[in-house]
């Protein structure tokens, strides 16, 4: 293989960004490496089909270890394996998190990551169909638009949540996050818009930008305390690719700590178990795993025009000819942010609401139309970890999420379920909803709700914090995203978050890519 100035590992929500931005300077020779292939598949392009990517060649298809607090269940954890990463697989909801997230990061030592610091980066990346203002940009690579064909029942659900006492909010990324409304999505004219579309495709026109797909990075090579390149395998053939300036890991909150540990960077005792020589002993690598557990409530409905009808040939034709209709839905069209407990600076609960049935990651169906409210605990306090199963880079890592370990997490989830039931029973939906499918049964008190939530809870696909910003004793990278104890190695993805943001993680991960590129360009 050959030599480059910068090697970026992982072409996802952050990696695509940092690689494309670095290539804006003609002086930089940049290589972006992706384990998967193209994102140009129908199940990627058609928004409503996102869950049909799960357990296919586009998905790493991870499962957690048996989860102690969920009755020993192993939880399915899809992670995209293609250009654009999880921006090619997610539900396209554009949420940045809360102002308090970033200010708390900065207060705790992540200098340069306050809300005032990162807001210009959000605006720089964004191309918002509503236009530019103090909070939004309109000329960035990432298209953010209102839903093209919002479902009438999504509007009704918003009215129903408002009837429980929440104010309306038409911009969760503006002056305040609290309230209920329809989400904006990363789409363009009814099609999914990924970081591969916005960043990689334009960058390919530059002679200094190179993309290597279907290539598995096995480890980072470290010599004399510095990253000098990566060992990688393509078509069964291993090789070494040199980086003369830096290696940037953007492989995500699961694969990045796996790569660090395979490279000798991690807890020394754990590395020794797998015969890996320790280069940097850092017990924080793979630790502090955070995600947003989510419990889905589904109610039968009598109305027509829900996503129950989305697979009709009529709607496929409408989508193919006009880019409108049910197939433009991101499923979770509407939502809300609110507090279930006092004292939190940011709302700890997010609703993700669907004009259709969604359960078991979309693998299960229901014979009649339904409506769903997902209770996503964005203020979760439980943490887990990522560890190696072996020294084989091709073996999936061991993920323990510890969902609902902390008692306050379960209490928040039960409160959210109770409030969702109030919304379904309110005037805007009265007469339109029937039998409760999930949780259903005798769950009118907190004890049976606790049991059924542990039996059925899933998550919001938001792993983070496994290579977090912090001191050498408490983190993996410094505020400039440089790996402690080494030179010429950085991390830029959701793993660097000191704590998980209160909301969907795609937009903050794009921002982290922008931040990394700015710091590298500035010589930081």
Q: What's the pLDDT score for residue 41? A: 97
Binned at pLDDT 50, 70 and 90, residue 1 comes out as low
Q: Which two tokens stand for residue 243?
A: 């980086």
Active-site residue flag, 462:
yes
Contacts of 388 (CB under 8 A, 6+ apart): 258, 261, 262, 270, 271, 274, 276, 395, 397, 398
256-275 per-position pLDDT tens digit: 999 999 999 999 999 999 99
Average pLDDT of the segment spanning 244-260: 98
Say if CB 84 and CB 39 are below 8 A apart.
Answer: yes
Q: What angle do CA 130, 17, 253 make, to 5 degrees?
A: 110
The catalytically annotated residue of 462, 484, 502, 506 is: 462
Cα–Cα distance, 196 to 38 (Å, whole number): 9
On the question of pLDDT at 139 being above 90, the answer is: yes
Q: What CATH number labels 150-181+293-377+405-456?
A: 3.30.410.40
Q: What DSSP designation does 173 have?
A: T
Q: Which two tokens stand for residue 147?
A: 């839903």
Say if CB 373 and CB 405 are below 8 A apart.
Answer: no
Looking at the chain, the whole-number percentage of residues with pLDDT higher than 90 is 98
Extents of the domains making up the chain: 150-181+293-377+405-456
Give the neighbor-by-neighbor strand order of the sheet with 184-185.
126-128, 142-146, 184-185
Output 437-445 pairs: Cβ under 8 A, ≥24 positions apart.
437/298, 437/299, 437/300, 437/357, 437/359, 437/366, 437/370, 438/296, 438/297, 438/298, 438/359, 439/295, 439/297
46-94 per-position pLDDT tens digit: 999 999 999 999 999 999 999 999 999 999 999 999 999 999 999 999 9
Q: What DSSP designation does 397 have?
A: P
Q: Which two tokens stand for residue 167?
A: 């104010």
182-237 per-position pLDDT tens digit: 999 999 999 999 999 999 999 999 999 999 999 999 999 999 999 999 999 999 99
């Amino acid at each position: 293989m050959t030599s480059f100035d910068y090697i970026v590992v992982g072409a996802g929500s952050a990696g695509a960004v940092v690689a494309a931005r670095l290539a804006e300077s003609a002086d930089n020779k940049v290589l972006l490496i992706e384990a998967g292939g193209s994102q140009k598949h129908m199940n990627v392009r058609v928004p409503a089909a996102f869950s049909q990517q799960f357990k296919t060649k586009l998905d790493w298809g991870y499962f957690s270890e048996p989860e102690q607090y969920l009755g020993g269940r192993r939880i399915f954890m899809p992670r995209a394996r293609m250009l654009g990463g999880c921006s090619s697989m997610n539900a396209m909801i554009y949420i940045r998190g809360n102002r308090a997230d970033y200010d708390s990061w900065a207060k705790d030592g992540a200098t340069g990551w306050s809300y005032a610091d990162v807001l210009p980066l959000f605006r720089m990346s964004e191309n918002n169909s509503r236009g530019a203002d103090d909070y939004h940009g309109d000329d960035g690579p990432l298209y953010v638009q209102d839903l093209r064909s919002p479902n009438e029942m999504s509007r009704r659900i918003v009215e129903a949540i408002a009837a429980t006492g929440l104010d309306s909010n038409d911009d969760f990324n503006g002056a305040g996050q609290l309230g209920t409304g329809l989400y904006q999505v990363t789409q363009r004219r009814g099609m999914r818009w990924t970081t591969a579309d916005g960043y990689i495709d334009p960058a390919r026109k530059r002679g200094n930008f190179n993309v290597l797909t279907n290539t598995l990075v096995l480890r980072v090579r470290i010599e004399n305390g510095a990253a000098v390149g990566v060992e990688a395998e393509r078509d069964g053939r291993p090789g070494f690719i040199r980086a003369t300036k830096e290696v940037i890991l953007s492989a995500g909150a699961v694969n990045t700590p796996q790569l660090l540990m395979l490279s000798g960077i991690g807890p020394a005792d754990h590395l020794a178990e797998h015969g890996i020589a320790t280069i940097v002993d850092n017990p924080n690598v793979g630790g502090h795993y955070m995600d947003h557990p989510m419990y889905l409530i589904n109610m039968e409905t009598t109305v027509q025009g829900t996503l129950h009808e989305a697979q009709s040939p009529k709607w496929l034709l409408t989508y193919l000819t006009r880019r409108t209709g049910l197939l433009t839905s991101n499923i979770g069209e509407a939502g809300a942010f609110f507090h279930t407990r006092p004292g939190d600076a940011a709302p700890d609960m997010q609703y993700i609401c669907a004009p259709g049935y969604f359960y078991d990651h979309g693998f299960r169906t229901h014979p009649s139309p339904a409506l769903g409210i997902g209770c996503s605990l964005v203020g979760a306090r439980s943490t887990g970890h990522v560890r190696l199963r072996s020294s084989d880079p091709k073996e999936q890592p061991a993920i323990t999420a510890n969902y609902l370990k902390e008692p306050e997490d379960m209490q928040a989830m039960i409160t959210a379920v109770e409030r969702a039931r109030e919304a379904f029973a309110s005037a805007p939906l009265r007469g339109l909803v029937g039998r409760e499918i999930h949780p259903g049964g005798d769950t009118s008190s907190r004890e049976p709700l606790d049991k059924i939530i542990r039996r059925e809870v899933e998550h919001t696909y938001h792993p983070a914090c496994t290579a977090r910003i912090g001191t050498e004793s408490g983190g993996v990278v410094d505020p400039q995203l440089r790996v402690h104890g080494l030179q010429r190695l950085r991390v830029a993805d959701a793993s660097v978050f000191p704590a998980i943001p209160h909301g969907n993680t795609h937009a903050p991960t794009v921002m982290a890519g922008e931040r990394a590129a700015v710091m590298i360009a500035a010589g930081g």
